[in-house]
């Protein structure tokens, strides 16, 4: 049986994707901070599942607990790193900036490192990281969030390059969503807001096709192209 660990499975995209994986023959490891939500999710899954409560903002503890979960499941071939946070922070409060960095940078790198270590020893597998369209440019209302997602995308590319140089058949998928109907969708003027289930379906298709990168939903590729092409003098007026 195929086995996957979803980090950040208690809500949002991670929860929706865990349900899809469980319905498609995967044994699923459910990792996240909120035990009650993980237990509720476990009761909905038709396949074998495992729970591990961990908080990626505490990297040393998260590393140890993730290794425990891998040992319990024995042969994990897919890791989905969906844990993340973000705040609209126009006052540049250091408390919110630090929280974002602790989760999206230090926490992400910690669990991605464990996943890479396991798959490299195994000799094959798949890592999926949930980044954001915000990774493309800096954001004045949420500097740490945009920068942290750029870190996620760049770290994933680094892992892909590492595995490629070692000629290991390990796929690394960078998922860059637009607006998703989760607790992190903050601010005014949101558009093209997709449900977590719709986003999860597109991510699962990308996993099946072993894609390196996707925008979700697909229409956001147009916005991504515009953001990359836009001169600074226009972007700074938005």
Q: Kindly report the CATH number assigned to the domain that includes residue 59.
A: 3.40.50.720
pLDDT per residue as tens digits for the range 102-154: 999 999 999 999 999 999 999 999 999 999 999 999 999 999 999 999 999 99
Give pLDDT, residue 147.
97
Residue 180 has a pLDDT of 79
- Range(s) of the domain holding residue 85: 2-235
Closest C-alpha among 128, 127, 110, 119 to residue 55? 110
Which entry of 145, 155, 215, 235 is annotated as an active-site residue? 145
107 close to 62: Cβ distance less than 8 angstroms: yes
Q: Clarify whether 235 is annotated catalytic.
A: no
User: If we measure between CA atoms, which residue out of 70, 77, 118, 121 comes closest to residue 210?
Assistant: 77
Q: How many domains does the chain have?
A: 1
């Amino acid at each position: 049986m195929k086995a996957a660990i979803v980090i950040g499975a208690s809500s949002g995209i991670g929860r929706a994707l865990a349900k899809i994986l469980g319905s498609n023959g995967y044994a699923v490891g459910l990792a996240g901070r909120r035990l009650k939500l993980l237990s509720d999710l476990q009761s909905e899954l038709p396949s074998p599942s495992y729970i591990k409560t961990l908080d990626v903002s505490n990297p040393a503890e998260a590393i140890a607990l993730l290794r425990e979960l891998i040992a319990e499941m024995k042969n994990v071939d897919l890791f989905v790193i969906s844990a993340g946070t973000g705040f609209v922070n126009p006052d540049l409060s250091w408390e919110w900036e630090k929280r974002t960095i602790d989760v999206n940078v230090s926490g992400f790198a910690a669990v991605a490192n464990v996943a890479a270590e396991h798959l490299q020893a195994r000799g094959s597998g798949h890592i999926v990281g949930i980044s954001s369209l915000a990774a493309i440019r800096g954001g004045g209302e949420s500097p740490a969030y945009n920068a942290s997602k750029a870190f996620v995308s760049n770290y994933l590319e680094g892992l892909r390059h590492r595995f490629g140089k070692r000629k290991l058949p390990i796929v690394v998928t960078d998922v860059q969503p637009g607006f998703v109907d989760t607790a992190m969708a903050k601010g005014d003027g949101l558009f093209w807001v997709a449900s977590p289930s719709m986003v999860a379906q597109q991510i699962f298709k990308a996993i099946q096709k072993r894609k390196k990168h996707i925008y979700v939903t697909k229409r956001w590729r147009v916005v991504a192209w515009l953001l990359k092409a836009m001169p600074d003098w226009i972007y700074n007026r938005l």
